[in-house]
Amino acid sequence: MILLLAEDDSDDWDLFQEGLHETAPAITLHWVKHGDDVFNEAKKLLPDILFLDLNMPGCDGIECLKLIKAEPAIQKIPVVMYTTSNAPAQVKECYSLGAARYLLKPVNYTGIFKGIELILNLYKESQLTHPEFDKFVIDTYQIN
């Protein structure tokens, strides 16, 4: 399995990488720091899941999502928005553009483990698709 994380913050990258290593060490993780690189890297790698930060330099997460969903070669890749923002307008826009989930960035190891594990389980169960809106946002602090 291949994951692509689009994230410009190296601390968030480190936390995600450590969480993935603890949760699923056999998964290959690739990282892009700049929004302008997301589209080409997704086309090159064809990741199983793309975790996409909203606030990146260059092309922001919403613009990247629009480009990905408009490209037949990669539009079926599940895109999980990975952000600290829970602004209703951004959540609604990402939902309307076809993101698979909206994962609020955890700030600790427990949260990252829970978030990654939940997303990977949804993928394994073929449920990492565009859900009903009430199941779209995942807050790692509310996962039991």
Cα–Cα distance measured from residue 52 to residue 62, given in angstroms and rounded to the nearest whole number: 9
Angular region, 128: left φ>0, alpha ψ -120 to 50, beta rest:
beta
All structural domains of the chain, each given as residue ranges with its CATH number in brackets, are 2-142 (3.40.50.2300)
- One-letter identity of residue 143: I
CB atoms within 10 A of CB 48: 16
Give the mean model confidence (pLDDT) for residues 117-139: 93
**pTM of the predicted structure, to 2 decimals:** 0.93
Q: pLDDT tens digits, residue range 15-66?
A: 889 888 888 889 999 999 988 999 999 999 999 999 999 988 888 999 999 9
Q: Residue 141 CA to chain centroid, in angstroms?
A: 17
- Under DSSP, is residue 8 helix (H, G, I), strand (E, B) or coil? coil
The H or E element containing residue 20 is: helix 10-23
Tens of pLDDT, residues 80-100: 999 888 899 999 999 999 999
CA–CA gap between residue 130 and residue 118 (Å, rounded): 15
pLDDT greater than 70 at residue 126: yes
